């Protein structure tokens, strides 16, 4: 059997990893400024994470959601404490798309309505409702296309308010990334986030914050920087530092009913152990604050490089534009300087490193970026 060929791959085979570094099968060392797509939150093979998973594996890896799983309660308690949402309820699943799928479905159950507001350049995953709320026609299959999702311009308070004045009573939910990731690191303004909250309040719609990349911005949830709260926060990616685990944190006024949501794998013993290990490291190593400080440091250093334009983001969720002769910077960083970064089309580089990346590694990244830019300038002049 061959693999179904859907991924454009780099010709690199990674065989081991530690902290912010990975090594290929020829023992070449790479700096990981991409965190395997914002997944590596506490660093590759963090010893606490590895030990906790090994210990759990020796006890029990999985049993279905038909029995008591105390680890789920421990995770809910810890998540509530660290995120400041102790009164919210937790539903566990396995991925970001699944988290958003459940959030939208729950909003529809809760309100009895069908219309969902999503935003230009938003990305929420590839399953049916999540992809229908994603602003990318090329990944929406005909069966996923629906008139129930309305796309409004991101960061446009007037368009949002006008829409709600007309259609608010039909609207089940608004789903938004407070910082758009795949869309190219676009930060929602405080006014925009607050307007979403107000519209949802005025029309009893559910406000869903897609926080699949949570923990990177200095606050647990990026949405909370604007001083208002969402009704549902969706989580995945860094939640298990590579172990597949997702979840949604649900405000107390949204009530559960048996059978309303469900999953076979969600909340299994190993997944809970992984998510707990991540939260324990986040607290022990003060990683929310460190992400903010090191992110500010990185952004200041990037801002001093003339060739990089429009540096933006918050904490360790950073994007910038590269253009003209420097447009191939990302490829050069990987092939010549052995640094992984992320991209967004057309010419955006995204940085999503582990939350505990060191200042020395950030400095090394900046030095190599300067060298790569100089090489690119020379090659066009030459």
Ligand X SMILES: Cc1ncc(COP(=O)(O)O)c(C=O)c1O
Residues of the shown chain interacting with ligand X in the complex, contacts defined by CB under 6 A: 95-97, 100, 123-125, 177, 181-182, 210, 212-213, 236
Using Cβ positions, the residue closest to ligand X within the complex turns out to be 96
Least distance in angstroms from the C-beta of 133 to ligand X: 10
Question: Which tokens go with 201?
Answer: 């309040």
Residue 89 has φ and ψ, to the nearest 5°, of: -115, 150
| Residue 27, phi-psi category: left (phi > 0), alpha (psi -120 to 50), beta (remainder) | left
Cβ closest to ligand X, residue 108 vs residue 234: 234
Interior/surface letters 46-56, b for 16+ CB within 10 angstroms, e for the rest? beebeebbeeb
Cβ closest to ligand X, residue 318 vs residue 376: 318
Cβ closest to ligand X, residue 313 vs residue 369: 313
Nearest by Cα to 174 from 142, 201, 144: 201
Cβ closest to ligand X, residue 218 vs residue 342: 342
Cβ closest to ligand X, residue 100 vs residue 369: 100
Cα separation, 40 vs 279, whole angstroms: 13
Interior/surface letters 251-283, b for 16+ CB within 10 angstroms, e for the rest? beebeeeeeebebebbbbbbbbbbbbbbbbbbe
Sheet harboring 21-24: ordered strands across?
Answer: 14-18, 21-24, 29-32, 339-340
- Contact between 61 and 261 under an 8 Å Cβ cutoff? The reply is no
Largest CA distance in the chain: 69
Least distance in angstroms from the C-beta of 12 to ligand X: 20
Cβ closest to ligand X, residue 97 vs residue 298: 97
For 96, 259, 342, the CA distances from 206, given in Å and listed in that order, are 18, 20, 32
Least distance in angstroms from the C-beta of 284 to ligand X: 26
Cα separation, 232 vs 239, whole angstroms: 16
For 53, 106, 149, 153, 163, the CA distances from 145, given in Å and listed in that order, are 40, 20, 9, 19, 20
Least distance in angstroms from the C-beta of 360 to ligand X: 28
Least distance in angstroms from the C-beta of 369 to ligand X: 24
Least distance in angstroms from the C-beta of 67 to ligand X: 26
Cβ closest to ligand X, residue 181 vs residue 319: 181
Cα separation, 94 vs 54, whole angstroms: 20
Least distance in angstroms from the C-beta of 236 to ligand X: 5
Least distance in angstroms from the C-beta of 211 to ligand X: 8
For 166, 198, 238, the CA distances from 169, given in Å and listed in that order, are 8, 14, 36
Cβ closest to ligand X, residue 95 vs residue 186: 95
Least distance in angstroms from the C-beta of 341 to ligand X: 15
Cβ closest to ligand X, residue 30 vs residue 123: 123
């Amino acid at each position: 059997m061959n693999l179904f060929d859907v991924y454009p791959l780099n010709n690199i085979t990674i065989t081991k990893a530690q902290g912010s570094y990975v090594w290929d099968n020829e023992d070449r060392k790479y700096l990981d400024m991409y965190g395997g797509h914002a997944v590596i939150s506490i660093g590759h093979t963090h010893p606490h994470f590895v030990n906790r998973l090994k210990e759990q594996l020796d006890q029990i890896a999985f049993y279905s959601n038909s029995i008591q799983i105390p680890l789920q309660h421990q995770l809910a308690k810890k998540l509530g404490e660290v995120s400041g949402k102790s009164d919210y309820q937790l539903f566990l699943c396995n991925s970001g798309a699944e988290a958003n799928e459940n959030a939208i479905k729950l909003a529809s159950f809760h309100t009895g309505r069908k219309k969902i507001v999503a935003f230009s350049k938003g990305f929420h995953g590839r399953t049916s409702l999540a992809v229908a709320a994603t602003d990318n026609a090329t990944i929406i299959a005909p069966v996923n296309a629906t008139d129930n999702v309305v796309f409004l311009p991101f960061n446009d308070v007037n368009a949002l308010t006008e829409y709600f004045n007309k259609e608010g009573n039909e609207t089940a939910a608004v789903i938004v990334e407070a910082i758009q990731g795949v869309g190219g690191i676009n930060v929602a303004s405080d006014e925009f986030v607050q307007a979403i909250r107000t519209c949802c309040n005025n029309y009893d719609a559910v406000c869903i914050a897609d926080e699949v990349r949570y923990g990177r911005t200095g606050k647990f949830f990026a949405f909370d920087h604007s001083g208002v709260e969402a009704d549902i926060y969706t989580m995945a990616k860094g939640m298990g530092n590579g172990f597949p685990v997702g979840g949604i944190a649900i405000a107390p006024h949204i009530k559960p009913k048996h059978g309303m949501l469900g999953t076979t794998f969600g909340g299994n013993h190993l997944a809970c152990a992984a998510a707990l290990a991540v939260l324990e490291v986040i607290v022990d190593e003060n990683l929310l604050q460190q992400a903010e400080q090191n992110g500010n440091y990185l952004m200041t250093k990037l801002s001093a490089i003339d060739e990089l334009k429009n540096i933006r983001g918050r904490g360790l969720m950073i994007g910038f534009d590269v253009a003209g002769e420097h447009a191939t910077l990302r490829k050069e960083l990987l092939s010549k300087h052995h640094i992984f970064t992320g991209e967004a089309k057309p010419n955006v580089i995204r940085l999503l490193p582990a939350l505990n990346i060191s200042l020395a590694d950030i400095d090394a990244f900046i030095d190599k970026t300067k060298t790569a830019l100089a090489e690119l300038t020379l090659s066009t002049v030459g």
